[in-house]
Structure 1
Amino acid sequence: MHWASSPDWGLWLENTVALTGDEVDKVFADRPVLSFPHGGPQLAIVEESAGLLRAVGRYRPDSVPVRMEVRAGECLTRLLIPADEPQAVRWADYAARVFFASRMLADGWRMLHASAIALDGTAVLFLADQEGGKSTLAHRACVELGAGFLADDLVLISAEGMVVGWPTRIAVPAELVRNADETSGLMPAIGQRRRVAFTPVEHRSVSGIEYSPPVPLGALVCIQSDQSATDPLRASVLAGCSRESFVVTAADVPAQHLFVSDLVGLMGGPRSGSGGEPVAGTETSWQVPAVLLTVGDMAGFARAPVWEVLAPLLSEFGER
């Protein structure tokens, strides 16, 4: 993307007095309300006129509301945050995500449901179904191979193959966490798996893992579980339609697109529900090695010798 020499939008945070319960109930009872799926942010539009938008937002249904004011002519968004309510600052993080993601997606970047690490200056993306081992491989690569961390759950990737890690919570298998007492708590167990959830700040502090800046795509590792497999792990070259199928599935993230789309112009971004159309033929333009990793024993995946299996097919791992 091409950025101007000076910022094209400002985000200003101010402390203010919290709205009373009656005031909040009134605002959300008789105003248009934009609600995101799965209990996400809610935004009540209080006033909209030429160049001015006033709204009240709740980051979660039970969280403290904040007031916001968008002045399009000044390219400015003001967040009026109740004093002594640190959780309300999450709106600033959300607004920043909207600013960058809405513009990047409109400029042809794609958002993928994937984890990613950086090895030798290039990105390795791990693609799999939900709970398919993406986070496990990303964490293990950082600890065992000295890789740089890019993302746990979402990445943005350009048509040319530049990979940017997208900030979300980081979920690490509980058996791989050394300092469990310093974590924010265990996430609910799913099947045989328990995971520990971190914010990005907590993850840096507790793990000591280095985070990577954007790097070009170097390889894809696509993970599938096969309980009938005779081998605990098996790797093979992945190409053609099978390879593109994994990428297309990873790009099917409508809820995440909606979350970062600037639907009402909070940060002056494109008002698109999809965040921009993907560049045609993007997947085939990523001319990098792709490997299918078949896992026969997902319960033991956190300790399985994955790098030895992948090494013959991916030079990045083979050089470590």
Structure 2
Amino acid sequence: MHSTRISADHHAVTVTSNSGFVTDWTLRYFGPWWHATSATAADQAERTVRADIDPEATELLTRSIVHLPHEETEYARTPMVHTRTPEGAVRAAQPDQQLAYEAWPAGTVRIVGADEVAVALAAARLARESVRGQLLADGWAILHASAVTRDTGAVLLTLGNKGAGKTTVALTLARQGMGLLANDRVFVRGSVDGTVNVLPWPSAAAVGLGLLDALGLYDEVRTRFMGGDRLHPTQDQRVTDALLAGNRTPQWENGRELKLQLFPDQLSTMLKLTLTTRGAAERFLFPHITPGSEPELLDEERPLREEDFFTAASEDRYPDIFGLLPDNGAAGVRTAFGMLTGLPRTTFRLSHDAAANTDFLKTLTAEE
């Protein structure tokens, strides 16, 4: 049996599997941002995710769900059927992925599947949800922001709607020597001294081909990709095809950009960025990207909004089918919201000129 233990701020989950591929995937996925180590029996956390390659068990468990009254939903953009047993356990299946699940109220989840990659993806996803639930129960909240850290540990949080420039700001500043704490979401929690602590949300990093090219990173990524360094399997095939063809043109579908999907560790190995694991919030940055403009400060106030936070109610990709999230998650949002509203904030415009954006952001974030 293979095991990997993941921990963040004293909360932990252990992933076990009959396949070393699954636990190695977990180790790779969480290692750069959360503390992930190969585990012995003595190291295992109280919460566990057991993820095995077992086609026969997958078929049996799936049949036990689909032939009984059940509900249907979408989980990780894939159809899922699920039901609850009289004992309170949740059983679920994603037949298209050949995956089946059982979850018990104590926080133990079992995953069985026929494909190693599908099982590894599911195990990492449920392990993160398990730690997420523990952090939320402990007063942390999730903010939709990218984040970079100074050498002092001070965190610059960048907020905005899709396309506003959160990733542009984070990668530009990280390329200039700041630490990259998060690409899309962060955990935040206030302390008694008024400090707002920040932790990363481990996930595949989505980077558009145009931004990759503008930052001078396209050639390095493509060279490594052509040399056999595989990218995250959630990447759309059209982006993969563009890389294979040497095409730097952004790929779109129904107004949504299809982006490169990098494993967290590839932010270091491919993009040469330094990843950091925690910090204290210093300031909010609110960018807007306007093609053809010059980067400049804007004389407008963008307030922090409750919709800038993620909650179980607003989660659109991973509904809490397995009961891993607490009922009191909104309390952490209210507390964090109150403490974060006092942070300084800066609103500004960026262009599509990477050099101009870099110069502007270096000046904007220079320490006094």
TM norm structure 1 = 0.75
Q: Which amino acid aligns with 1:147?
A: M
Offset of 1:234 from its aligned partner?
0.9
Q: Which moved more, 1:249-258 or 1:172-181?
A: 249-258
Whole-Å separation in 2 of the counterparts to 1:194 and 1:258:
18
Q: Please state how far the C-alpha of 1:237 moved relative to its aligned partner.
A: 7.5
Q: Does 1:309 align with 2:360?
A: yes
Range with greater deviation from structure 2 (131-140 or 18-27)? 18-27
Aligned to 1:251: 309
Partner residue, 1:67: 101
The farther-off stretch of 96-105 and 188-197 is 188-197
- The code of the aligned residue for 1:221 comes to L
Which of the residues 149, 156, 163 maps onto 2:198? 163
Q: Which residue of 2 aligns with 1:277?
A: 331
Give, in whole Å, the separation in 2 of the partners of 1:62 and 1:225: 39
Distance in 1 (alpha carbons) for counterparts of 2:289 and 2:318: 31
Contact 2:207–2:261 under 8 Å retained in 1: yes
- RMSD over aligned CA atoms reads 3.6
Unaligned segments of structure 2, at least 5 residues? 1-8, 13-42, 240-249
1:291 and 2:350 aligned: no
Partner of 2:161: 129
Opposite residue 66 of structure 1, the aligned amino acid is A
After the TM superposition, which residues 1-320 of structure 1 pair with which residues of structure 2 at under 5 Å, given as runs? 7-18=45-56, 24=62, 27-28=65-66, 30-33=68-71, 35-36=73-74, 39-40=77-78, 42-45=80-83, 48-50=85-87, 53=89, 55-58=91-94, 62-70=96-104, 72=106, 76-82=108-114, 84-120=115-151, 121-143=153-175, 145-160=176-191, 161-174=196-209, 175=213, 176=215, 177=218, 178-181=220-223, 182=225, 184=231, 186=239, 188-189=251-252, 195-225=259-289, 232-235=294-297, 242-245=301-304, 247-251=305-309, 257=315, 259=317, 262-265=320-323, 267=324, 269-270=325-326, 272=327, 275-280=329-334, 282-286=336-340, 287-295=342-350, 297=351, 300-301=352-353, 303-311=354-362, 313-316=364-367
Cα displacement (A) at 1:263? 4.5
Shift in CA distance, 71/285, structure 1 to aligned 2, threshold 3 Å: closer
Distance verdict in 2 for CA 1:250–1:155, change over 3 Å? same
Rounded Cα–Cα distance in structure 2 between residues aligned with 1:54 and 1:282? 32
Q: Residues 67-91 of structure 1, C-alpha deviation per residue, up to 9 Å, x if partnerless?
A: 335373xx63333333x53222222
* 8 Å contact kept, 1:237–1:291: no
SS in 1 for 2:129: helix
For 2:186, what is the secondary structure of its paired residue?
Answer: strand
Task: Mark the CA change 1:55 to 1:194 in structure 2 (over 3 Å): closer, same or farther.
Answer: closer
Structure 1 residue runs without a partner (length 5+): none
Q: 1:261 to 1:305 in 2, by over 3 A?
A: same
SS in 2 for 1:163: strand
* 8 Å Cα contact 1:32-1:44 kept in structure 2: yes
Alpha-carbon separation, structure 2, partners of 1:42 and 1:262: 12
Contact 1:141–1:147 (8 Å) recurs in 2: yes
Structure 1's 201 and 18: CA in aligned 2 closer, same or farther, altered over 3 A? farther
Aligned residues: 295
Contact 2:112/2:119, CA 8 A, preserved across alignment:
no
User: What is the CA distance between 1:17 and its match in structure 2?
Assistant: 2.5
TM-score by length of 2: 0.66
d(CA) in 2 for partners of 1:201, 1:29: 42
CA drift of 1:151 comes to 1.3
Q: Give CA deviations for 1:96-137 in whole Å, capped at 9, x if unaligned.
A: 122121232233322122111112212111112101111122
**Contact 2:139 2:189 (C-alpha < 8 Å) held by counterparts:** yes
SS in 2 for 1:280: helix
CA contact (8 A) 1:136 1:173 kept: no
Structure 1 residue 217 displacement after superposition: 0.9
Residues 284, 311 of structure 1: CA spacing in aligned structure 2 closer, same or farther, 3 A cutoff?
A: farther
